Amino acid sequence: MKTTLRPIYLLLLLLWSAVAAAMSPQEAVDAFAQTPRLPSGSMAVIVSDLSRDKIIACYNATVPLIPASIMKSVSIAALSDATRPESLWLTQVSIEGKTDADGTLHGNLIIEGAGDPTVNSTVWPYSEDFVAEIVEALKEKGIKRIAGKIIIDESQFAGPSCPPSWAKGDLAQSYGTGSHAFNFRNNASGKRAEQNPSGVFNVALRGALSKGGISVGDELMKEGVRTPLFTHESAELREIMRSCMNRSDNLFAETFLRRFGKIKGGDGSTADAAAREMEYWKRQGAAMEGVKIIDGSGLSRSNRVTAMFMENILSHKKNDIDYVSYFPLAGQEGTLRKFLAGSPLDSYIALKTGSMNGIQCYAGYKLDDDFAPTHAVVVIVNDFRCDRAFLRSQIEKMLMNIFPNP
């Protein structure tokens, strides 16, 4: 057993077991759907037995609904299919031009953005300080003056940094900041979004170079021979994905979608990547009717998924140990820390949550004692007007009835 149950929950377990003994999974879902105060027409549930590839309970499984942040689990599933979990983001730094004997670089400093969302991140403290790395590399090269300017190449990602369907009120918030080919300090200042992370980086780098005794010009010099200076490496993709799922990080998820698009031959724009992801899941045999993928994070209210589509993704990834491990454990981690906490299902349910005004969603797995997935679980509720705590309690009750003996 993964957790020690408090005495009161031993009693609750007996009570729940007594109730569930006469209730099948489908009956448990039907009881949830008929709960007074819940919007029966705009919610969906599906539970499948992964060992038998069989749906054991469902309600409104083909109704398209707004997914909110469970969309992140879809973006991560696609990218983890397209590349290895140990993959890195590589940001190349080069110098352009000749360096004379007195340490003057008659050229420019080039930073090639690759989409890494963790550069000098305040929520991801596991990467090297990119600014300090540049200063140190230039010193080792003996460069004391850059006659040209700092150039930040953001050509890897085409299109706007934010989908046009994002609500205007979100764009100014740190959670609504756009994704760029070069991201810096979460593209935010406190709780406010930063529209020009490259500009913030330029100022920070110039300040650090000045303190390090290296001056920089302001005029672009004619191109010379480009020489690699060093390559900044991110942490492994699996760790960044795990962080994204636990904290529900929109910036991380948006860069996952864009990177997927680039791998599949696209231009790195959100729109192109979303279209390629739609086509990818169609080729994998997922139920696509009514599904609309607009972004990678779920911040757009124009996204639409069905419970069946989500189950198809979860079933498709059931044997990917890394992917399953990204989902927060109920009662233990991230956005699921308080959900089912202390209950018999504590640590036996792993779900990605999704919340917006009037929206509450869950998607993930029921686990066994070895943390292997036994069932896929999807709950999507739109347009609810009751208290969110009440809704969550009803979802917890349903899951306890479906899985009375974890």
| Bridge-based pairing state of the strands 188-189 and 90-99 | unpaired
Q: How confident is the model at residue 20, as a pLDDT?
A: 46
Contact call for residues 130 and 199 (beta carbons, < 8 A) = no
Determine the angle formed by the axes of helices 250-263 and 237-247, rounding to 10 degrees: 140
Residue 100 has pLDDT above 90, yes or no: yes
Cα-based distances in Å from 339 to 82, 234, 326, 332, 342: 32, 32, 17, 8, 9
- With CA atoms as reference, report the closest residue to 105 among 232, 230, 214: 214
Q: What is the rounded average pLDDT of the residues 108-114?
A: 97
Is the pLDDT at 109 greater than 90? The verdict is yes
Q: Tens of pLDDT along 237-256?
A: 999 999 999 999 999 999 99
Contact assessment for residue 275 and residue 357, using Cβ atoms and an 8 Å cutoff = no
Q: Which residue has the higher pLDDT, 225 or 1?
A: 225
252: amino acid identity, one letter: F
pLDDT in tens, 138-168: 999 999 999 999 999 999 999 999 999 999 9
| Digit-coded pLDDT (tens) for 390-404 | 999 999 999 999 999
